[in-house]
Amino acid sequence: MRSTLLQALATAVILLVSNAATAFDISGSKWLRAKADFYVDMEGISGTQISWNDAFIAAMNAWSEQSIFDFTLVEENFDPCLFDGRSSVDFAANYCGTEFGSNTLAITVRRFAGQTLGPNRITEADIIVNDSIEFNVYDGPLVQFGIPGLDFGRVALHELGHVIGLDHESSNKAIMAPSIGNLFELQEDDINGVTALYSGLDACEVKLLAFGASSNGLGGNDCTVRELTVGGTDESFLDLYQFQIGQATDFEFNVESDVLDAVLIIATTDLEFLALDFDASDQCGSSLKTSLDPGSYFLIVNTFDEPVKDDCGVTGTYKLRADYSASGKPSMGTSTSLLGSTNLARYSGGISKDGGVTYSNVFTPDDSLQIEAEITTDIRHRGKDGFLVVAALLENQILMLNEQGEFVEVGLNPDPIVRFASKPLQAIEPLSIATDLVPGALGIDEIEANIVVGYGLDSDPQDIFYHLVPLNLTVRPLVSGGG
């Protein structure tokens, strides 16, 4: 993990001098998402009767249609020398008060903002085209009999590559060569460069976040910050956990470790970093409290490139604890089945101590709990004879809820499956798992259980449809200052 608050400017130019074409090169600096608004409204028309505006828009469309980056056209004119948050283009006699170089055709100026992880991201990119150069618009070789001037279209393509985040390279055929040449269309190398720049997540394993406690570690087999953000020098390891919420939710995340100098980060799935905690205390772990709106997020467990605390390192095992509180029932993940059958069932559920006003996963022994779930069955299964199941996964045993409302211990592969109910399956199947359950009254002062619900068909009773994110129940004694 490296943190920076720098804002910087960078320039990229295309030259008239002829050099060998080049392969894609990326520094890692890019837009937050693979898209940007661009303001275009240039006056004038070329000798081939194609307006500069149309030629530039055609170049934008080429990048949008052939790569994963998407330009949105805004037909307004803004001075590209004004850093106003609007990316724009225009001809000018000089580069914002400075003379162009003798062979400079155009300059792209990029503005950056610091990121929690990885290189600075692009926030604005403007193109200034040298007005003293004679341009035209045409395809084919750069020098053509009867057509004066240089092709503006290939210059626009090149400069828009810089806007996206590509730099100059020097090995394969590419429009991003440092000098203008006979290429007038995007090449495979250019497109591959954009894909590489905006596909860092493909290099990293994404785990589903399980609420409650889980164990993991950071080491040589894990993704690095440099791989995730595509660029920079940060080689610190990270684990990436994804979770989704349907309502505003309060979270508390904790990493406990005797050896790992842990950092916790919350980000959107576009890697917009929202919250950070690296715990300045003497202990190796980290903790983070945050509130999030509905959406899909990443929890990132990271460390530092170089150890910060004397007794903590940058590799090792850790215990992750994820707790929540919300006014609605949390998502229980996508549907799967024991035999891998494709299905579109949906699941929700929650545990409440206040009659459904709030739902959480952490309670005290004296709380009176209501545990409920709801299954929206796959449309193909509705009306068919089937059954419902409820399982509680404890550290060393599995319990299943029978038709008498009792949890009974089963083995790892119960046969037959203990049924909670047998019935024709309805579109919506509500499950009341427990009502007025007081753990302390049952002699339970501390426990952690993960509850899974599902259903099956009598025609194939071995294939159980269930959800990937268990409903976590953590009971622990009330401690001073909290619960």
Region 233-241: mean pLDDT is 95
How is the beta sheet containing 89-92 ordered, strand by strand?
9-15, 104-113, 121-130, 89-92
pLDDT above 70 as % of the chain: 93
Above 90 in pLDDT, residue 8? no
Determine which of 72-81, 404-413, 469-478 has the lowest per-residue pLDDT on average.
404-413
* Contact in structure between 377 and 425 (CB atoms under 8 Å): yes
Using a cut of 0.75, tell me whether the model's pTM lies above it.
Answer: yes
Distance CA 368, CA 190 (A): 61
Q: How confident is the model at residue 6 (pLDDT cuts 50, 70, 90)?
A: very low
Is the bond preceding residue 416 a cis peptide, omega within 30 degrees? yes
The residue behind tokens 């990937």 is 468
Region 443-465: mean pLDDT is 96
Distance CA 4, CA 480 (A): 38
Region 443-466: mean pLDDT is 96
Q: How many CA atoms lie within 13 A of 467 on its CB side?
A: 28
List pLDDT tens digits, range 172-216: 899 999 999 999 999 999 999 999 999 999 989 999 999 999 999
* pLDDT attached to residue 102: 84
List pLDDT tens digits, range 333-387: 899 999 999 999 999 999 999 999 999 999 999 999 999 999 999 999 999 999 9
Residues 6 or more apart from 482 whose CB is under 8 A from it? Answer: none
* pLDDT attached to residue 193: 94
The residue behind tokens 């950092």 is 263
Identify the H or E element spanning 395: none
Above 80 in pLDDT, residue 474? yes
Distance CA 78, CA 39 (A): 7
Residues 6 or more apart from 75 whose CB is under 8 A from it? Answer: 39, 40, 41
Above 90 in pLDDT, residue 170? no
* pLDDT attached to residue 299: 98
Q: How confident is the model at residue 483 (pLDDT cuts 50, 70, 90)?
A: very low
* pLDDT attached to residue 279: 67
* pLDDT attached to residue 22: 29
The whole-chain average pLDDT of the chain stands at: 91
Domains of the chain: 9-198 (3.40.390.10), 201-326 (2.60.120.380), 335-475 (2.60.40)
What does the block give as tokens for 321? 């604890």
* pLDDT attached to residue 20: 30
Distance CA 122, CA 140 (A): 32
Region 49-53: mean pLDDT is 97
* pLDDT attached to residue 480: 55
Above 50 in pLDDT, residue 169? yes
Would you call 301 helix, strand, or coil by DSSP? strand
Distance CA 475, CA 464 (A): 28
* pLDDT attached to residue 23: 38
Distance CA 261, CA 3 (A): 15
Above 50 in pLDDT, residue 17? no
Of 414 and 231, which is predicted with more confidence?
231
Of 280 and 304, which is predicted with more confidence?
304
DSSP code per residue over 105-165 = EEEEEEEEE--SSSSPEEEEEEEEEETTS-EE---S-SSBTTB-SEEHHHHHHHHHHHHHT
List pLDDT tens digits, range 300-318: 999 988 878 888 999 999 9
Would you call 59 helix, strand, or coil by DSSP? helix
* pLDDT attached to residue 34: 96
| C-alpha Rg value of the chain to the nearest Å | 29
* pLDDT attached to residue 253: 97
* pLDDT attached to residue 305: 85
Identify the H or E element spanning 57: helix 52-66
Amino acid in position 387 = F
Q: How confident is the model at residue 467 (pLDDT cuts 50, 70, 90)?
A: very high
* pLDDT attached to residue 75: 97
